[in-house]
Amino acid sequence: MIRLNNATPSEILQDVKIGSMVTDTFSKTGLVESIDISDDGLYRVYEFNLVTGRTITVKK
């Protein structure tokens, strides 16, 4: 299981694949259904959409 938060290194965030088991260490745990990566000019924003319908968002 991969822990996703703002302290997670960028290399780990890049290695997460669809089907990986992830958690935010609080209430969101599940398999990754889709991954959206965007850049807002200041941060790179990773959105991991889980099969449970929840989304884990990490800004780096």
- 16's CB contacts (< 8 A; 6+ apart) are 2, 4, 22, 32, 35, 48
pLDDT at 36: 98
pLDDT at 3: 96
pLDDT at 51: 97
Q: Domain 2-59 falls in which CATH fold? A: SH3 type barrels. (2.30.30)
pLDDT at 41: 92
Q: Which two tokens stand for residue 28?
A: 């969101």
Of 8, 9, 1, 58, nearest in space to 29 by CA: 1
CA-angle at 24, arms to 23 and 25, nearest 5°: 90
pLDDT at 39: 95
- The pLDDT tens digits of the residues spanning 3-47 come to 999 999 999 999 999 999 999 988 999 999 999 999 999 999 999
